Structure 1
Amino acid sequence: MFTQLKESVPMKKDAQAKRQSTGANKAPAAWLWLAGVGFTFVVALLGYGLAQVPGFNRVGQLACAILIAVAYRQIWGYPEAIRPGIQFSAKRLLRLAIILYGLKLNIDVVIHEGLGLLLYGAGVIVLAIFLTLLIAKWLKADTSLSLMLGVGTGICGAAAIAAVSPIIKAKDEDTAIGVGIIALVGTIFAITYTILRPILPLSPIEYGTWSGMSLHEIAHVALAAAPAGQDGLAIGLLAKLGRVLLLVPLCFILMYWMKQKGKVDGNTKIEFPWFLIGFIAMSIFGSYVLGKQIPVSDGFNNGISSLTTFVLTMAMVGLGLNVNLRDLRTKASRPLIAMAITSVLLSALMFVLV
């Protein structure tokens, strides 16, 4: 009996030491995770600051932050020690940003005033995806990246790419490249629109509709349509929001397509995009509760919009760190060409139709 007691004492000590050791290991891991999230925060902040510089302000903080992240990766490599926190930003914060993005979509306005524009928007989305993939196939470009660019062109740029990337099992590197390309090309188009505005034979409403139907991001539509005045800007944003609304059904169509085409193994399940439910919930909340049942100021709305963009920027930093420039030239050039050609054709067609 005494022997058993003696043996149990060291066993208890060993168990206690093991628990202490485990606790000691958790603390550094937690700090490293926080360091990873903090790293994406700092780079996103640098991207925001760079976007305030004349010239870079046309590109936007998303693209600026991705450029900084890509440059860091090429010079110092991927910060492996803090990878869990970086991946948290790239995955979880990305979904949070899409959920918050739902507040920008006023469903009530789209349904009551933009049903006709909604039908045009559906046509724009189908055309953008079809043309991009068709040209990409002709150029023998990467299909996954081309599909994301087609979706981004047709719907709402970076947010759309971020939403569909987990559904089509895209690589983080491809997602970051796609977001960078869509931000760059969309900015070039938006600036071109503002330059052409004075010489185009379009009324403010027609010009705003053209901008909302053919440009990539909501920010690009706001930039391009502003010179047309309040009426032009309002109709442009309405047209764009109709396209954003169609992001949800498109994601479910892509899920069905992935399963039907056998793009995943038989035993592999496509993760249900629960964040889209959050996107819809926030859209409903923003459309029927916030501002109606709960009065809010313009400052509050602008603050939420800025927060959403910054959270998305942190996610883009996490994705941008996966980009290897050595592979970028061969992998991204052809999808970029396909997307650029599609954007030009889409812009020309919408110009004729309006």
Structure 2
Amino acid sequence: MSVHPSVLSASHHVGRLLPGLALCGLVTLLAFVAQTGEERLFGRAWLESLVLAILIGTVVRTLWTPPERWLPGIAFSAKTLLEIAVMLLGASLSIGTIVAAGPGLLFGIAGVVVMAIGISYMIGRVLGLPCRMAILVACGNSICGNSAIAATAPVIGAESDDIAASIGFTAVLGVLVVIGLPLLVPVLGMSKLQYGVLAGLTVYAVPQVIAATAPIGALSVQIGTLVKLVRVLMLGPVMLVLSLGAGHLSRHAGAAGVAPPRLSIAKLVPWFIIGFLALVAARSSGLVPGAALAPMSTLANWLTIVSMAALGLGVDVRVVARAGLRVTAAVVVSLLALGGISLGLIRLLGIA
């Protein structure tokens, strides 16, 4: 009995991926172990497993260069698994609770995100960051930190070094923001409601928003989480605009006599962005079973961490070190600008 050639081809393809996938899985496991160790020692994880996966992967790559047979699985993890994870994030978002906050705050948050992306991008470019790095920093600061950077990377074709540097510096700054932001409450004389809005607009991740608002009060936690979810919801539209912008640039690639690549809907709007928006709509319409939400979120989290391990395994630490000072400056100045814009929105809406 002969085996169909397509089966043999598929088996060969999977076989090529296994070594790299196994390596990324091992790095991911070590990252979870390290996070658990942090929680037991300090009572909380100062560096999440996503960041630890990059750091561990980078250390492995610094000490050892993977041979050719490891590379297909690493590349698959860094790209395809990341795209699947981004798509699955759509199932965690529902429009219903966001609309209940009112149109003023809703459109205000969207406006803050758009302004912050533009300002952060300009800051990055002024400080000498490459275009793609500036976009990563801008989206990470303005939307949802590491997740936004991870989602933006495949859309704009960012390099592993740029992604790892952006996530690394953003993660460190995110911890500092969680610790330092509550100190602004007495300094600025902010109410719990005002502080919740500020935290939701400036802190990177949803768990970090909760950590930053919990010391102030339950109202801050509730409004901060809601505002943060609106920011996360901006991820889909921003990725769509970026993908269209990338297609626009491609159409002009023939300006010097070189024919631009042929574009299709799939190239203009990557499949995982379409899937992300479809899952947001499905969740908002009640088409996603409640019992499926937790497993989908867990799977997205695992896939993201595996992809971050793969990115770390592809990082040349010398490139990250050279970009460090500029990236740090860009992230810090951009975050300060975001804070200023957020305070302006609070005053504009008369939030008391």
Please say whether Structure 1 and Structure 2 have the same fold, judged by a TM-score greater than 0.5: yes
Instruction: Number of aligned residue pairs: give it.
Output: 332
Contact 2:182 2:216 in 1 (8 A): no
**Are the equivalent residues in 1 in contact too, given 2:243–2:270 (CA < 8 A)?**
no
CA offset at residue 228 of structure 1? 3.3
- Distance change (3 Å), C-alpha of 1:271 and 1:130: closer
Find the counterpart in structure 1 of residue 119 from structure 2.
131
Aligned to 2:271: 274
State the alpha-carbon separation in 1 of the partners of residues 172 and 93 from structure 2: 24
Once the 2 structures are TM-superposed, how far is the Cα of residue 305 of structure 1 from its aligned partner? 3.1
SS in 2 for 1:175: helix
Q: Percent identity?
A: 31
Contact preservation (8 Å) 1:177, 1:323: no
Aligned residue type for 2:133:
L
Contact 1:62–1:183 at 8 Å: present in 2 too?
no
State the Cα deviation string for residues 10-55 of structure 1 (Å, max 9, x = none): xxxxxx9xx9999999867634422321221221121112112145
Counterpart pick for 2:299 among 307, 311, 314: 307
2:21 to 31, 37, 42: 37
Contact 1:102 1:282 in 2 (8 A): yes
Structure 1 contact 110–238 (Cα < 8 Å) conserved? yes
Matched to 2:134, the amino acid is S
Query: What CA distance in whole angstroms lies between the structure 2 residues aligned with 1:62 and 1:200?
Result: 33
Q: Which moved more, 1:195-204 or 1:168-177?
A: 195-204
2:342 corresponds to which residue? Answer: 350
Q: What's the CA shift string for 1:323-354, capped at 9, x where partnerless?
A: 11111122242132112111023224424543
Check whether the contact 2:79–2:154 (CA below 8 A) recurs between aligned residues: no
Normalised by the size of structure 1, how large is the TM-score? 0.83
Is the 8 Å Cα contact of residues 196 and 221 (structure 2) preserved in structure 1?
Answer: yes
Q: Is 1:205 aligned to 2:193, yes or no?
A: yes
Residue 47, structure 1, aligned to residue 31, structure 2: yes
Residue equivalent to 1:327: 319
Equivalent pair of 1:43/1:69 in contact (CA under 8 Å): yes
Q: Which amino acid aligns with 2:327?
A: P
Is it true that 1:111 corresponds to 2:95 in the alignment? Answer: no
264-273 vs 127-136, which deviates more?
Answer: 264-273
1:78 aligned counterpart, secondary structure: coil
The worse-fitting range, judged by mean Cα deviation, of 90-99 and 23-32 is 23-32
2:350 counterpart residue number: none
Distance in 1, Cα, partners of 2:29 & 2:139: 28
2:281 equivalent among 284, 290, 294: 284
* Aligned pairs for 1:156-167 within 5 A: 156-167=144-155
- Structure 1 residues 253, 191: CA separation in 2 closer, same or farther (over 3 Å shift)? same
Q: Which runs of 5+ in 1 are unaligned?
A: 1-15
Q: Do the aligned residues in 2 keep the contact of 1:114 with 1:238 (CA within 8 Å)?
A: no
Alpha carbons 1:114, 1:239 under 8 Å: kept? no
Q: Distance in 2 between matches of 1:211 and 1:29?
A: 46
1:265 aligns with 2:243: no
Maintained 8 Å contact 1:32/1:85: yes
What is the CA–CA distance in structure 1 between the aligned matches of 2:296 and 2:219, rounded to whole Å? 24
Aligned residue type for 1:37:
L
Alpha-carbon distance, 1:233 to partner: 1.6
Q: Where do residues 187-266 of structure 1 align in structure 2 (5 Å cutoff)?
A: 187-194=175-182, 196=184, 201-261=189-249, 265-266=253-254
Q: Is the 8 A contact 2:244 2:269 kept in 1?
A: no
**Aligned partner of 2:58 among 70, 73, 76:** 70
Of stretches 192-201 and 181-190 in structure 1, the one that deviates more from structure 2 is 192-201
Distance in 2 between the 1:256 and 1:104 partners? Answer: 24
> Is 1:114–1:242's contact at 8 Å kept on the other side of the alignment?
no
Q: State the alpha-carbon separation in 1 of the partners of residues 85 and 273 from structure 2.
A: 11
Q: Which protein has the larger Cα radius of gyration, Structure 1 or Structure 2?
A: 1
Q: Are the equivalent residues in 2 in contact too, given 1:142–1:335 (CA < 8 A)?
A: no
| C-alpha distance in structure 2 between counterparts of 1:263 and 1:174, whole Å | 25
Native 8 Å contact 1:218 1:237 kept in 2: yes
Residue identity matched to 1:277? I
Specify the code of the residue in structure 2 equivalent to 1:45. L
2:331 aligned to 331, 339, 342, which one?
339
Q: Which amino acid aligns with 2:301?
A: T
